[in-house]
Amino acid sequence: MLWGRTGRGRGAGAVLAVAVLSGCGSTEAGAGSEAEAAPAEDTRTVEHAMGETEIAGEPERVVVLDTGELDATLALGVTPVGAVRTDVSDELPGFVTAAGADPADIAAVGTIAEPDLEAIAALEPDLILSNAVRHADVYEQLAGIAPTVFAEAIGESWQENLLLAGEALGRAEEAQELLDAHTARAEEVGARFGDPAATEVSVARFLDGTLVRLYGEGSFIGSVLADVGFARPPVQRTAETFVEVSPEQVTQADGDLLFYGAYGEEGATAAGEITGGPLWQSIPAVAQGRSVAVDDDRWFLGLGPLGAGLVLDDLEELAARL
């Protein structure tokens, strides 16, 4: 069914289970000989944003330093021994439990903005995953602790980042399978909206009371919406991750469908104030019941196949209500 400007909609559906691929995490023994031989591990050279890194076998004690790497690692069947937290919460994002992992098994190693190098070293990792956007300045220190692999970018590049994580973890085939499954499911979800290209989807996020972020095509959520086949409003047809507007300009968030989230307590407070105000209420998508509050963890923090799957869950649930 096409969601046009005269339609009416309701909120996104409940959290659905996310299936992830798992692996044994062990290595095979090398070729036999007359003497008893120790098991041999395949060593591979992984090229990444900071150069090349030699990795042996399938790493088991993995530390991740951003939410995209956390998402990818869990989706590939590996529960990290350590992960950073966001700057607004001591808890791991909700997609961790949605993946079937126990947050208690994942030690805190600082925040995304300030990773705790001592805590990381104490975990004795055999692989560290992050990206150059967040942590280029501490790469050498991290590489001195364990083999370290950095993605070049974040957000829109999540599929490339997943393939890189799969290579580093020795699970390249599983990573490609995840991407193939995502592509097929995104097309299926898009078909539930009839002609998704005829529907402009707007995405807003509240971080505080000063600016509102409108997410562009060059973002994680923008790439997922593109995979589904949706169009975007003119202001969000940008290769940038987001465009920031003032609360007084929030009417630019309009679209055939409008999804919005809030980051942390300040974001929730701002969302309450702005969405309760007359400008927000004057947006046609809001006035006509076509705006949907979404879970911030699901739409903005996953940055990987788990997050993408949860977004598709929400869209599929919404399509069933149309």
- Taken as a whole, the chain contains a residue count of 322
Q: How confident is the model at residue 321 (pLDDT cuts 50, 70, 90)?
A: confident
Q: Where does the pLDDT of residue 85 fall: very low under 50, low under 70, confident under 90, or very high at 90 and above? A: very high
Question: Region 290-314: what's the mean pLDDT?
Answer: 95
- Token duo for residue 278: 């007359």
How does 290-314 read in b/e, with b if 16+ C-beta sit within 10 Å? bbbebbbbbbbbbbbbbbbbbbbbb
Does position 30 have pLDDT exceeding 50, yes or no? no
Homologous superfamily of 43-170: Nitrogenase molybdenum iron protein domain (3.40.50.1980)
Tell me: pLDDT of 1 over 80.
no
Those residues whose C-beta lies under 8 Å from the C-beta of residue 238, and which sit 6 or more positions away, are: 216, 217, 218
H-helix segments, 192-277: 220-228, 264-275
Cα–Cα distance for residue pair 159/296, rounded to 1 Å: 20
Q: Is the pLDDT of residue 5 over 70?
A: no
Architecture of domain 190-321 in CATH? 3-Layer(aba) Sandwich (3.40)
d(CA 137, CA 139): 6
- What was the pLDDT predicted at 24? 34
Residues 6+ apart with CB under 8 A from 216: 222, 232, 236, 237, 238, 239, 240, 241, 242, 243
CA 171 – CA 43 distance, rounded (Å): 13
pLDDT confidence band for 41 (50 / 70 / 90): low
Express each pLDDT in 138-162 by its tens digit: 999 999 999 999 999 999 999 999 9
Give the residue with greater pLDDT, 125 vs 98. 125
**Contact in structure between 68 and 304 (CB atoms under 8 Å):** yes
Query: Which regions of the chain carry the CATH code 3.40.50.1980?
Result: 43-170, 190-321
Model confidence band, residue 31 (pLDDT cutoffs 50, 70, 90): very low
Q: What is the DSSP letter of 247?
A: G
Q: Say if strands 242-245 and 212-215 run parallel, antiparallel, or are unpaired.
A: antiparallel
